[in-house]
Amino acid sequence: MKKPSPYLTFAGTIPFIACAFLLIIDVVDGPILGSVADTLSAYGLVIGSIDSFFLDRSICIAYGGFVSA
């Protein structure tokens, strides 16, 4: 069985791709989440916060596992 990290990485890009597509076709407000730009910026903030959490604790994700730096 393959490691799930590549699949999770690609799955994490889906909201960015979806929001970018919606902005390209001039959809400004979504029916469920509201403003597409606000949704995109909130998701980016969450991803950035998670990344900084791991970087602050000298942990990096490499080859699908946690490796202390």
Tell me what the mean pLDDT of segment 38-58 comes to: 77
Q: How confident is the model at residue 1 (pLDDT cuts 50, 70, 90)?
A: low
Angle of helix 5-12 relative to helix 14-24, nearest 10 degrees? 20
Higher pLDDT, 46 or 56: 46
Total Cβ atoms within 10 A of residue 37:
13
For the purposes of burial, counting CB atoms within 10 Å of the CB of 19, is it exposed (0-12), middle (13-18) or buried (19 or more)?
Answer: buried
Q: How confident is the model at residue 25 (pLDDT cuts 50, 70, 90)?
A: very high
Q: List CB contacts of 22: < 8 A, sequence separation 6 or more.
A: 30, 36
Tell me what the mean pLDDT of segment 7-23 comes to: 87
Task: Return the SS3 of 29.
Answer: strand
Q: How confident is the model at residue 24 (pLDDT cuts 50, 70, 90)?
A: very high
